[in-house]
Chains A and B, each alone.
Chain A
Amino acid sequence: MPGVRKTGLKSHPRREHSGPFLLIALPGLLYLLVNNYIPMFGAFIAFKKLDYVQGLFKSPWTGFDNFKFLFQTKDAFVMVRNTLLYNLAFIALGTVCAVLIAVLMADVSRMPAARFFQAGLLLPNLVSMVIVSYLVYAFLAPETGLVNTEILPAFSMEPINWYSQAKYWPFILILTQMWKTAGYTSIVYIASIAGMDAGMYESARIDGAGKLRQIFAITLPLLKPTIIVMVLMSVGRIFASDFGLFYQVPMDSGALYDVTQTIDTYVYRGLMRFGNVGMSSAAGLFQSVVGFILVLGANSLVKRFSAGDSLF
Chain B
Amino acid sequence: MKRTSTAILALTLAATLFAGCSSTGGFGPEGTQEVGAGAAPAADTPEAGPEVPAQADEVVFYCLSFTNIPDSYDQVNTAINEHIAGTYPEANVKLKLQLFGPVEYEEKIRLAMQSGTPVDLFTPLGLANYVAQNQVLPLEDLLTEYGRDVTAIIHEDIGTDAFKTYEINGHTYGVPINKGMVVTPTLIYDKDMLAATGYSIDSINSLRDLPKVFDKIKELYPEVFPYANTNQGDTHIIPILAGENDIDVMMDRVTYMGVVFGDSGQVVNLYDTPWFAEYVGIMRDWYEKGYVPKDMATSPSTATEYFNAGRLFSTIAGYGGNEIGALISASTGRNIGNKWIAPFYFDSSAASLATAVSSTSKSPAAAMKMINILYTDEFVINTILYGIEGMDYVKVDEHHWTYPEGKDVNTVSYTAAFSTGIVGSEKLQLQTAGVSYEDVLLKLRQNVECKRSPYYGFTFDPSKVVNEITALNNVYSQYIPGLVCGSLDPAVALPEFNKALKDAGIDALIAEKQTQLNAWIAANR
Bound complex: CA A74 to CA B505 (Å): 12
The 5 A-B pairs at the shortest CB distance, nearest first, are namely A270-B470, A254-B478, A69-B467, A251-B298, A243-B5
Check: A289 CB closer than 8 A to any chain B CB: no
- Which residue from B9, B359, B503 sits with its C-beta under 8 Å from A268? B9
- Shortest CB distance A127–B (Å): 14
A243 — nearest CB in chain B belongs to which residue? B5
| B106 CB contacts on chain A under 8 angstroms | 275
Q: Which of B417-425, B480-488, B509-517 contacts A (4 or more CB under 8 A)?
A: B480-488
Residue from B254, B477, B480, B503 with most neighbouring chain A CB atoms (10 Å): B477
Check: B75 CB closer than 8 A to any chain A CB: no
Known contacts being A52-B360, A255-B487, is A274 close to B466, with CB within 8 Å? yes
- Which residue from B8, B13, B300, B466 sits with its C-beta under 8 Å from A69? B466
Contact sample, A vs B, 8 pairs, CB 8 Å cutoff: A141-B295, A251-B298, A254-B479, A255-B488, A261-B474, A270-B469, A273-B13, A280-B6
Bound complex: CA A240 to CA B4 (Å): 12
| A142 CB contacts on chain B under 8 angstroms | 294-295
Binding site for A on B (CB under 8 A): 1-2, 4-6, 8-9, 12-13, 16, 106, 110, 113-114, 126, 129, 133-135, 233, 254, 293-295, 297-300, 359-360, 466-471, 473-474, 477-482, 487-488, 503-505
Interface string of A265-276 (1 = CB under 8 A from B): 010111111111
Bound complex: CA A74 to CA B503 (Å): 8
- Shortest CB distance B505–A (Å): 7
B135 — nearest CB in chain A belongs to which residue? A52
Check: A36 CB closer than 8 A to any chain B CB: no
Are the C-beta atoms of A254 and B482 separated by less than 8 Å? yes
Are the C-beta atoms of B114 and A56 separated by less than 8 Å? yes
Known contacts being A252-B298, A254-B482, is A72 close to B8, with CB within 8 Å? no
| A247 CB contacts on chain B under 8 angstroms | 8
Check: A19 CB closer than 8 A to any chain B CB: no
Contacts A141-B295, A254-B478, A280-B9 known; list 13 others, CB within 8 Å: A52-B133, A52-B360, A164-B298, A252-B298, A252-B477, A254-B481, A257-B478, A269-B474, A270-B469, A270-B470, A272-B12, A275-B13, A276-B133
Binding site for B on A (CB under 8 A): 50-56, 68-69, 72-75, 137, 141-143, 161, 163-164, 237, 240, 242-244, 247, 251-255, 257, 261, 264, 266, 268-277, 279-280, 284
- Shortest CB distance A52–B (Å): 5
| B16 CB contacts on chain A under 8 angstroms | 272-273
Bound complex: CA A51 to CA B359 (Å): 10
- Which residue from A50, A161, A257 sits with its C-beta under 8 Å from B133? A50
- Shortest CB distance A27–B (Å): 23
| B487 CB contacts on chain A under 8 angstroms | 161, 164, 255
| B470 CB contacts on chain A under 8 angstroms | 69, 72, 270-271, 274, 279
Are the C-beta atoms of B471 and A69 separated by less than 8 Å? yes
| A50 CB contacts on chain B under 8 angstroms | 133
Bound complex: CA A269 to CA B469 (Å): 10
Bound complex: CA A274 to CA B129 (Å): 6
- Shortest CB distance B432–A (Å): 31
Are the C-beta atoms of A269 and B473 separated by less than 8 Å? yes
Bound complex: CA A280 to CA B133 (Å): 14
Are the C-beta atoms of A272 and B9 separated by less than 8 Å? yes
B12 — nearest CB in chain A belongs to which residue? A272
Residue from A54, A73, A269 with most neighbouring chain B CB atoms (10 Å): A73
Bound complex: CA A257 to CA B474 (Å): 9
Bound complex: CA A270 to CA B255 (Å): 12
Are the C-beta atoms of A284 and B2 separated by less than 8 Å? yes
Bound complex: CA A242 to CA B2 (Å): 9
- Shortest CB distance A133–B (Å): 9
- Shortest CB distance B370–A (Å): 20
B360 — nearest CB in chain A belongs to which residue? A52
